[in-house]
Amino acid sequence: MSWHKLRGYFNTPLVISSTLIFLFVVGSFLVPLFSQWDPELANPREAFSSPSWRHPFGTDRSGMDIFVRVFHAPRIDLSLVSLGVLIGGFLGILIGVITGFSRGIVSEIVMRLVDIVQAFPLLILAITLVGLAGNDYSNIVVVLAFVNVPVFVRLTRSQVLTLRELRFVEASLALGNSKFRLIMRHILPNSLGPAVVQFGISMGYGVLTLAGMAFLGVGIQAPTPEWGSMILTGTSYITTGEWWISVFPGVILAIAIFSFNLLSEGIELLREKNSR
Amino acid sequence: MSEKTLLIEDLDVGIVSKSKSDILLNKVCCSVAEGEMHGLVGETGSGKSMTARSVVGLLPNGISTFGGSVLFRGNDLLMMSEKERSKIRGRDIGMIFQNPRTALYPLATVKTQIMNILTTHLEISSDESEERVLSILSEVGIDDPERVSKAFPHELSGGMAQRVVIACAIVCEPKFVIADEPTTGLDLTIQKQILDLISELQQSLGLSILMITHDLGIVAQYCKSVTVLRSGRVVEQGLVDSVLVSPTEPYTKQLIDSSRLDRLIERI
Amino acid sequence: MNEKKEIVVKVDRLVKTFSSRSGREEVKAVRNVSLEVEKGRTLGLVGESGSGKSTVARCITGLLKSDSGLIEVLGKDILKESGKSMRSFRQDLQIVFQEPLESLDPRYRIGRSIAEPLLLHANLDKKAIRNRVLLLMDQVALSEDLFDRFPHELSGGQQQRVNIARALVTNPKVVILDEPTASLDVSVQLEILELLIKLQKEFDLTYILISHNLGTIRAICDTVSVMYLGEIIESGDTDEIFDSPKNSYTKSLLGAYLPVDPREKVRI
């Protein structure tokens, strides 16, 4: 693939978002490595320091350096969310293709179940489920996967429903493809488009959900660094003057979500370009 | 020498947008004499539909006329305001479109639609217009006008719907009708019925008709004169009896030959 | 001349009914259709919309399961074939559809699309497959540099050539052509038909051509069956049917055919 051809794949949102995400990932490894501060060790003497060279983002009430914690958080945040969204997405696409392709009573039942799950507000559902199941990481991943299944089912299914009416589906069968090959080789690849874009959006949402859960005391617990729980511990101090405890994690959280949404946009632009 | 109902002279139409400019019609000249059917023929992209739209002023966004004139009974339509043009559309110039079911408004009955046209253009009471609806529907060969008038477009067959479109086009008694591919997509036998109907109405109402089509057969059988378009330019024009029998331009010859598929085996 | 006729496709008393979702409405799309096609010849199935001709084609290729009747292609009973053997049989029985662009997977490059039947049925290595595809592309007059293009980058005529190449890549014996030129411009239609005739001669193909276009039918069919509302109402040699039709529907169908020569008048 020549450089010239590769150039065509770059568009502004894609480049910016990939860079940001890359920085987050790299940062999550390098910052804790090079920082003198332990992200989980309390250090009462340093408590409530305002931002300075020593503590670029200040410290919280336990004296933990916020800068190192903010950049350590992605390890948990991103890994749990990616895992959850990937699993949910994979399942959702599978169900979407199957129910889109075969009609009948089973499809209808599955779709109604999907409707039911989607009827609950995402955050409430996630919090309830984790609250019931317990705070360990595997539960969080399962819950994240679960709440993401419906949207992927819908996206993929609607693509499949349109595709199956197209002539090339009939033509593929006429050539000698089995139904299985038809689905795997023709229908699935053509229905992934919206789902791929959705991944980015779901990642953003997932990070938000995780943070939201932590903010409400469910899911990731202190002292594990997580943007949401960090914001939580800082809320009572905003009015007393120690604004940095909530603000920095909040801003970084917003940037993270923004980069995922931007990533979706970049992927969308890429797809549009290819289909011209 | 009969009067020209429609006289298009040196019409230039093009796309103007930030990224590109393109010429769609280049110095197109065309005329329809009074009481005659003139065929405007060309392949896809030749500009025939664009010509029709320029006449009635219904060009899509970004496309406009740059030069030339479109004289309708002596008045230049291009020089008129949109308001004046919209008065002429429907009342003095009737339009028959391709794809009858999409040309009609899907959410109103046939009766409502025709009455709307009548009350928009003519000073007519609603009782009178109700009667007019039924009479125009029989005039276009519909056997059961009462039933059809109460139907919605999607309930009608292709042929029936096209008859309704024709009724809409002539209900205000215009003297000039533009028919843009009026039979494309219809079954062969229905095509013939619709074309025969248009031809009959032309005779009985003294209409001048601009027939836009890609089908040379329609031109040969129903039109008096023809203009052949290719990529926005006029290739050849004249009486059907001379252009289609002894064409002078190679493109015209090619077009005629391609249409005579039945002669294919002889050639191979 | 007493050569034994080799019947390649035989259909006997085919019936296919469609019922709506609720099961309340039934449409007898095909009722009691019988036909025969000899090796190397072309049968034309002509009819208007709703005649059932496309349904017959799909039943013959096994894409639709018929309700009753016999379908024999190259000696095989289509209705009795298992899924797996039917799929394998498709090497010998192919179909080209009306929609040139829509028949191709938009994500596959041209070369890959044409190669698909080989990947499914033949045991060739990559190089052999590529060579075979290039050979077919040459035979359908597609330039080699289109190999890596996507369907939307090609013109309608080129797309249809791709479909034809794909249909012929496994050397089938029978090819069904369902309105293969209906959505193409007239000059392109001619090219495609000429191509089909050339390929038939070269590879001794048997065609079943479905069309509503009488010119196309007359151009390449040896025998014709006229369909109306699911039944075959007249069959015979093409010349016979066109010159002396017996059935009144056939007559009105032929009457709807508009000759391009204005001296041949076919009017009311």
Kindly list the structural domains of chain C, giving each domain's residue range(s) and its CATH number in brackets, ordered by start. 1-92+174-268 (3.40.50.300), 100-171 (no CATH)
**Which residues of chain A lie closer than 8 angstroms to C117, CB-CB?**
175-176
> Would you state the pLDDT for residue B268?
52
- Percentage of residues in chain C with pLDDT exceeding 90? 68
Query: How deeply is A108 buried, as exposed, middle or buried, from its count of CB atoms within 10 A (0-12, 13-18, 19+)?
Result: exposed
> Would you state the pLDDT for residue B18?
67
Location of each CATH 3.40.50.300 domain in chain B? 1-92+177-186+207-268
**Which residues of chain A lie closer than 8 angstroms to C87, CB-CB?**
176-178
- Nearest residue, CB atoms, C258 vs list B218, B240, B245: B218
> Above 50 in pLDDT, residue B196?
yes
Among left, alpha and beta (phi > 0; psi -120 to 50; other), residue A172 is alpha
Q: If interface means Cβ-Cβ distance under 8 Å, which residues of chain B face chain C?
A: 43-44, 187-192, 195-196, 214-218, 220-221, 240-241, 244-245, 254-265, 268
A248-251: long-range contacts, CB 8 A cutoff, minimum separation 24: A248/A57, A248/A58, A248/A66, A248/A67, A248/A70, A249/A66, A249/A69, A249/A70, A249/A73
Bridge partner residues of C234 (DSSP)? C226
- Nearest residue, CB atoms, B261 vs list C193, C212, C252: C193
Cβ neighbours of B211 (radius 10 Å): 28
Which of B51-60, B134-143, B259-268 tops mean pLDDT?
B134-143
> Would you state the pLDDT for residue C268?
47
Nearest CA-CA distance, residue C247 and chain A, Å: 34
C105 in contact with A at a CB cutoff of 8 Å?
Answer: yes
Confidence of residue A27 (pLDDT cuts 50, 70, 90): confident
The residue of chain C nearest to residue B45, with distances taken between CA atoms, is: C185
- Tokens standing for A26? 């790299």
Domains of chain A listed by start with CATH number = 79-274 (1.10.3720.10)
> Above 60 in pLDDT, residue B264?
yes
pTM: 0.83
ipTM rounded to 2 decimals: 0.90
> CB A168 to CB C104 under 8 A?
yes
Q: Evaluate whether B48 touches B42 at the Cβ level (below 8 Å).
A: yes
C contact residues 113-142, partner A, Cβ 8 Å cutoff: 116-117, 120-121
C54 in contact with A at a CB cutoff of 8 Å?
Answer: no
> CB C116 to CB A190 under 8 A?
no
Which residue, among A160, A133, A159, A157, has the nearest Cα to A144 in the 3D structure? A133
Q: What's the mean per-residue pLDDT of chain C?
A: 90
**Which residues of chain C lie closer than 8 angstroms to B187, CB-CB?**
48-49, 212
> Above 60 in pLDDT, residue B203?
yes
Confidence of residue C150 (pLDDT cuts 50, 70, 90): very high
Q: Rounded distance, CA B9 to CA A83, Å?
A: 69
B1-92+177-186+207-268 CATH pick, 3.10.105.10, 3.40.50.2300, 3.40.50.1980, 3.40.50.300: 3.40.50.300
> Would you state the pLDDT for residue A2?
52
Which residue, among C49, C66, C99, C47, has the nearest Cα to C232 in the 3D structure? C47
Residue-wise pLDDT for C188-214, tens only, equals 888 899 999 999 999 999 999 999 888
Per-residue burial over A198-228, b = 16 or more CB atoms within 10 Å of its CB, e = otherwise = bbbbbbbbbbbbbbbbbbeebbbebbbbbbb
Q: Which chains touch A (3 or more CB pairs under 8 A)?
A: C
> Would you state the pLDDT for residue A3?
56
Residue-wise pLDDT for B223-238, tens only, equals 999 999 999 999 999 9
Q: Evaluate whether B53 touches B210 at the Cβ level (below 8 Å).
A: no
> Above 80 in pLDDT, residue A8?
no
Please compute the mean of the pLDDT values over residues C129-147 and round it to a whole number. Answer: 94
Residue-wise pLDDT for B17-49, tens only, equals 766 678 888 889 999 998 999 999 998 888 898
Please compute the mean of the pLDDT values over residues A165-190 and round it to a whole number. Answer: 92
> Would you state the pLDDT for residue A59?
83
Lowest mean pLDDT among B51-60, B107-116, C118-127, C231-240: B51-60
Q: Rounded distance, CA A155 to CA A24, Å?
A: 29
Number of H helices, E strands in chain B: 12, 10
Q: Rounded distance, CA C34 to CA C18, Å?
A: 19
